[in-house]
């Protein structure tokens, strides 16, 4: 056999071996693939298979309500009905006919419908909202004729609703859909894309309590997506209601008395335990704005970029307190022992500190007076002498005991500032803007501090706490807004502070005289059968250069007090007795009538 024939013979003999080897390798590859599919990646592919044949129809939970102390609804949820069109199913010629019929049927301007339709087409929407918030009457009328409108439907969704719109807006807070970036984190906590979440106020603080849990029905479909059977239903779980300490009657009057003010705040509190009965801030805003699907840029700018700052809670942020601060200077004089209770000081037209003569507000003085009369007539020169005599750090020490330059403890602390009470260390450290050692304490500072000006910035809620100490006989309370089963969720008991009760009683007597025959005497005008009231007026220069602020603080009854009111009118010149006191009087009037 020649060489060529020999090679051909060997090649033919090897062909079955090659085919066998290829078949074996292929079979092994298939086995390996099956091994990975059936054992290693079993769960992954099972999940993919389930997702292809199983659908989840989610059921949105109803968010818990927010109630006032008497059970009146301040926030709840309601169904919103919207008319939508799916343009891919509606020829243009049909739309021309639909828009006229819908306009006549639902009493919606045809121009409005056309504008919404064109906007949706421009944005390439597959479901265009033609009209939001249909009323029940409109829904019924549409349902009667819906077979005439192929490609249109009523969409139903649950939205947050605030019946009183702007009332207590800073307290209640608002909700918004979660963002894509938040969803990556919050999905692990049961949130869905575009689910609502509390952003501010009670809605934010008690989000976990209020929001509820999603439910739904799991169904099985076939390969073409048709329903086969239900695999089970898990009902959504309604969120829990939250009851506030707010009394809607007092809240409404607090909002009303602020209406003619440029800005300001009202706080009504029980001085015995810190329960807030009303908390209002002006300007305010409509909470229902955040439930709207469409919000124009102008609306956004009016709320978020306005120079009036409607989202800013003035009840929890600092301002110059003026004469309502004088109780702190008085207590510093008494507690230091340098100016005991029997102290009498000569008041004058003005007293010079440093390079400035600090004037008495009547430009002549009140003669020789003590603490009670100094509070009654709100003498500046009396308290200049007390403050300069004890020094800045004694005033600072007493202020800290009364809760100043710290958060009040109220639930909505994300809206709160701590303010400023000057002290020697603060000055030596640069006053927050200068170099250490270059901004020392000067005589003018102590005069200003003594009557609550410039180097003192406090919040209305801090003022409420401090005056509650006087009203309740020496206990620092934690302001709170919420309760469950009649108990505060904060569970903070009043704290007995280290101030002599005799000194507190002296201040209380002075505040009673303010209302009996001093700067606060008009609190009783036009009000009958009002229990004895104690209080203090205040007029403060605005450290930022604006018009004067007006303050009035009071509590009633003077002994065993049940109600405390802080009234603050921002940049409202004319004095606390002229602008702030009448606001408090209206609140006392309503409280007394309801009581």
**pLDDT tens-digit map of 37-88:** 565 555 554 554 444 567 666 777 889 999 999 999 999 998 889 999 998 8
Cβ-based neighbour number of residue 412 at 10 Å = 26
Mean per-residue pLDDT of the chain: 89
For the domain spanning 248-293+315-594, the CATH number is 3.40.710.10
> What are the residue boundaries of the structural domains of the chain, listed by start?
48-79+158-243, 87-150, 248-293+315-594
What are the beta bridge partners of residue 367?
347
* pLDDT for position 434: 87
What's the pLDDT at 537? Answer: 98
Q: What is the pLDDT of residue 48?
A: 44
Query: Residue 292's pLDDT is what?
Result: 80
pLDDT digits (tens, 9 = 90+) for 121-168: 998 888 898 998 899 999 999 999 999 999 999 988 888 999 999 999
Quick check: 36 pLDDT over 70?
no
CATH tag, 48-79+158-243: 3.90.1310.10
Distances (CA, A) of 341 to 330, 471, 581: 10, 19, 28
Q: Which whole number is the average pLDDT over 380-400?
A: 97
Q: Which residues contact 222 (CB under 8 A, 6 or more apart)?
A: 53, 228
Sheet with 215-221, edge to edge strand ranges: 54-59, 215-221, 227-234
3-class state of residue 107 by DSSP:
coil
The answer to whether domain 48-79+158-243 and domain 248-293+315-594 are alike in fold is no
The residue ranking higher by pLDDT, 79 or 362, is 362
User: Mean pLDDT: which of 16-30, 436-450, 486-500 is highest?
Assistant: 436-450
Tell me, what's the pLDDT at 171? 98
State mean pLDDT over 221-230: 64
Nearest in space to 152 (alpha carbons), one of 105, 109, 216: 105
Whether residue 35 has pLDDT greater than 90 = no
Gap between the terminal Cα atoms of the chain: 128
| Closest to 371 in 3D by CA, of 403, 409, 330 | 330
Higher pLDDT, 556 or 222: 556
Beta bridge partner(s), residue 157? 80
- Cα(13)–Cα(8) distance, integer angstroms: 9
Structure tokens at 531: 């229990």
Is pLDDT of 375 > 90? Answer: yes
Whether the per-residue pLDDT at 21 is higher than 70: the answer is no
Least confident of 91-105, 177-191, 266-280, 498-512: 177-191
HSE-CB of 130 using CA atoms within 13 angstroms:
24
Distances, alpha carbon 329 to alpha carbons 212, 391, 421, 497, in Å: 50, 10, 12, 17
């Amino acid at each position: 056999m020649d060489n060529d024939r020999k090679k051909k013979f060997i090649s033919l003999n090897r062909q079955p071996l090659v085919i066998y080897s290829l078949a074996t390798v292929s079979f092994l590859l298939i086995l390996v693939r099956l091994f990975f599919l059936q054992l290693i990646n079993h769960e992954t592919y099972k999940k993919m298979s389930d997702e292809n044949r199983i659908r989840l129809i989610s059921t949105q939970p109803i968010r818990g309500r927010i109630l006032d102390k008497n059970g009146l609804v301040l926030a709840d949820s309601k169904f919103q009905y919207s008319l939508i069109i799916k343009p891919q199913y509606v020829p243009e010629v049909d739309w021309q006919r639909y828009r006229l019929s819908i306009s006549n049927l639902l009493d919606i301007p045809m121009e409005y419908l056309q504008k919404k339709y064109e906007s949706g087409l421009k944005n390439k929407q597959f479901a265009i909202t033609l009209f939001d918030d249909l009323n029940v009457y409109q829904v019924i009328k549409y349902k009667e004729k819906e077979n005439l409108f192929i490609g249109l439907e009523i969409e139903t969704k649950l939205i947050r609703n605030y019946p009183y719109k702007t009332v207590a807006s800073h307290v209640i807070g608002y909700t918004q859909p979660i963002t894509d970036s938040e969803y990556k984190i919050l999905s692990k906590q049961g949130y869905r894309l575009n689910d609502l979440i509390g952003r501010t106020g009670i809605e934010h603080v008690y989000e976990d309590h209020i929001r509820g849990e999603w439910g739904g029905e799991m169904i099985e479909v076939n390969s073409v997506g048709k329903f086969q059977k239900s695999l089970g239903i898990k009902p959504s779980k309604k969120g829990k209601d939250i009851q506030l300490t707010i009394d809607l009657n007092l809240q409404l009057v607090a909002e009303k008395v602020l209406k003619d003010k440029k800005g300001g705040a009202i706080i009504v509190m029980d001085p015995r335990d810190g329960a807030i009965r009303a908390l209002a801030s002006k300007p305010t805003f409509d909470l229902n704005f955040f439930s709207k699907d469409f919000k124009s840029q102008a609306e956004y700018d009016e709320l978020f970029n306005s120079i009036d700052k409607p989202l800013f809670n003035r009840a929890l942020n600092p301002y110059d307190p003026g004469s309502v601060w004088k109780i702190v200077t008085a207590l510093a004089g008494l507690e230091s022992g340098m100016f005991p209770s029997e102290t009498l000081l000569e008041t004058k037209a003005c007293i010079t500190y440093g390079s400035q003569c600090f004037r008495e507000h009547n430009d002549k003085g009140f003669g020789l007076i003590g603490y009670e009369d100094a509070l009654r007539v709100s003498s500046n020169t009396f308290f200049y002498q007390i403050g300069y005599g004890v020094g800045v750090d004694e005033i600072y020490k007493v202020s800290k005991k009364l809760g100043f330059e710290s958060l009040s403890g109220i639930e909505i602390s994300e809206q709160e500032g701590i303010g400023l009470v000057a002290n020697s260390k603060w000055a030596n450290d640069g006053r927050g803007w200068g170099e250490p050692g270059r901004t020392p304490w000067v005589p003018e500072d102590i005069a200003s501090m003594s009557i609550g000006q410039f180097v003192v910035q406090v919040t209305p809620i801090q003022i409420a706490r401090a005056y509650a100490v006087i009203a309740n006989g020496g206990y620092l309370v934690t302001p709170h807004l919420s309760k469950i089963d009649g108990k505060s969720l904060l569970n903070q008991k009043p704290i007995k502070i280290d101030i002599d009760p005799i000194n507190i009683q002296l201040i209380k007597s002075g505040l009673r005289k303010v209302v009996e025959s001093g700067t606060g005497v008009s609190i009783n005008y036009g009000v009958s059968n009002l229990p004895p009231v104690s209080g203090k007026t205040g007029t403060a220069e605005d450290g930022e250069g604006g018009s004067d602020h007006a303050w009035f603080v009071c509590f009633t009854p003077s002994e065993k007090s049940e109600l405390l009111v802080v009234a603050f009118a921002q940049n409202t010149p004319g004095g606390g007795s002229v602008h702030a006191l009448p606001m408090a009087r209206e609140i006392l009037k309503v409280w007394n009538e309801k009581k």
